[in-house]
Chain A
């Protein structure tokens, strides 16, 4: 199957989940899908049949409010049955709006409070190094999430540990919770900041599979950051780059339109 087909199927799951449950964060989820698709269908060394294998690569979705994207991707990859997606955010379901590591296999950490994931990933990457495993750790954060001081504590610390096995992916969709990212706090020059903090920096189009895969697979001597320029709501025309889709959920008509665009 080609990556675009997989990504579309994941996006369809996401809009259905959020429409059914009237949950927020459709835009948040959609901007991550192309990267998740490459990670879970190309890059990560994982086995859905053996999700706790000690030598697996680990992926942490630090922006836990984008949970619908990770749940949909894990189901697409066969970690659990897709029917479980139907109970997302609903009474008696097993998938809450923010990630719960006890909910389903494949969710490495619980998240939903921003600014924890990179430090958790650091801990895991250090453990891999100490235990002599060459497994890798990938963390995805939001651009707004970079406002958190804890992110910068981890960003300063990672290079001191020479962690070649750690990759941070920034979902740079230019929107956050109460405004446009660079109007709330200007992150620029972002790539220079990471260079100055001693990371290897890759700046890519986060919806271009070739660019994503090449950035993910290049080996580095330092921790790696991928600044992925993305579009919040990517794939659904009326959601793209629209702030309200951080909060709104699609009604029936909007759902049908979204599904018709995602084929």
Chain B
């Protein structure tokens, strides 16, 4: 995802001189091409995230479109109040690009995991929250980001994710990306960001049990596609959300808040990470197992409900 992001941004920057990249000392083997092609529009401000965000806002207030690139906690939580005032409140064209969604950084440890970012970024007025499931979504929304007015947050995984989108579909911010849907299906799996592999496995496992389900990538947490959710609620009996994020405040929260205030009463369950910091050491897949966030567990739970 990060490679698709930067490749797309380099292409866009050839055409649009407003595009600027700021890094607080991150991006080795990712940002070099941008730096070499556009040295006047690239700044390494040092390991100083608060400064980075406010400089970005100052540039944006001067007409630039500024992408701040870092590891997820360092571009969201470290400079949070700078984001709140200089980016969200002043509604500036800053794009916060975080890499390492959820527990992508596995063995690096909890300082590098990001299980709270969707909750806190979603709480900020004006902030668009984009949590792509595959490189195609990254490409399309990066293109759109040049025209979008106001701040955006990108929750990228890392690298090597497969494309699952249908490339004939048009994609835009705030609109669900339907990977697979059939009006006959009674089960819908809504997922976001780097939980796409788990969602696909669950869909496959359910089909082995004889249950067909929809697969829908909710790549934008804000503005959320409530229209699609409303359509689904009208026709589906079972709605499940899957995300590699704390159960507090992410996709599951968005959907449950809506359902709770509606008159629909589907069987609904959220799947995600528990409300705890991982002290497990190991890869993303190892930690998922330890935290019980696996396709097998999710399928078993769903089978007990359908």
Contact = CB atoms under 8 A, between A and B. Distances in A.
A145 B283 contact: no
Nearest to A101: B279
Interface string B33-59: 000000000001111101100000000
B85 interface: no
Given A94-B281, A102-B279, A113-B73, A144 B111 contact: no
Interface stretch (A33-41, A48-56, A178-186): A178-186
B89 interface: no
B51 A96 contact: no
B26 interface: yes
Interface string B199-232: 0000000000000000000000000000000000
A96 B108 contact: yes
A110 B108 CA distance: 12
A144 B107 contact: no
Nearest to B74: A113
Contacts of A144: 25, 46-47
Contact of A97 (B74, B108, B279, B286): B108
B68 to A, nearest CB: 14
A148 B50 CA distance: 8
B279 to A, nearest CB: 6
Contacts of B44: 178-179, 184
Contacts of A92: 281-282, 286
B78 interface: yes
A89 B107 contact: yes
Of listed B45, B48, B73, residue having the most chain A CB within 10 A: B48
A96 B281 contact: yes
A147 interface: yes
Contacts of B155: none
A39 B108 CA distance: 26
A105 to B, nearest CB: 15
A148 B79 CA distance: 11
B47 A145 contact: yes
B270 interface: no
Contacts of A188: none
B281 A89 contact: yes
B246 interface: no
Contact of A98 (B24, B45, B46, B109): B109
B23 interface: yes
Nearest to B25: A177
A115 B111 CA distance: 13
Interface residues of B, number: 29
Given A91-B281, A91-B283, A103-B279, A112 B25 contact: no
Contact of A96 (B24, B45, B50, B109): B109
Contacts of B51: 149
Given A96-B107, A97-B108, A177-B47, A91 B286 contact: yes
A167 B51 CA distance: 27
A66 interface: no
Contact of A90 (B26, B45, B281): B281
A70 to B, nearest CB: 13
A247 B109 contact: no
A23 B207 CA distance: 39
Label chain A's interface by main secondary structure: loop
Contact of A100 (B29, B31, B279): B279
B46 A112 contact: no
Contact of A177 (B26, B107, B108, B286): B26
Given A98-B112, A147-B25, A21 B279 contact: no
Contacts of B109: 96-100, 110, 112
A93 interface: yes
B160 interface: no
B27 interface: yes
B47 A114 contact: yes
Interface in A61-101: 64, 87-100
A234 interface: no
Contacts of A100: 109-110, 279
A176 B45 CA distance: 12
Interface string B1-35: 00000000000000000000001111111010000
A148 B111 contact: no
B281 A115 contact: no
A177 to B, nearest CB: 4
Of listed B24, B31, B45, B73, residue having the most chain A CB within 10 A: B24
A92 B282 CA distance: 6
A141 B47 CA distance: 13
B31 to A, nearest CB: 8
Interface in B249-306: 279, 281-283, 286
12 contacts: A91-B107, A92-B282, A96-B107, A96-B108, A98-B111, A98-B112, A110-B110, A111-B111, A147-B24, A147-B45, A178-B26, A178-B31
> What 6 A-B pairs are tightest by C-beta distance, nearest first?
A112-B111, A96-B109, A147-B46, A91-B282, A185-B46, A97-B108
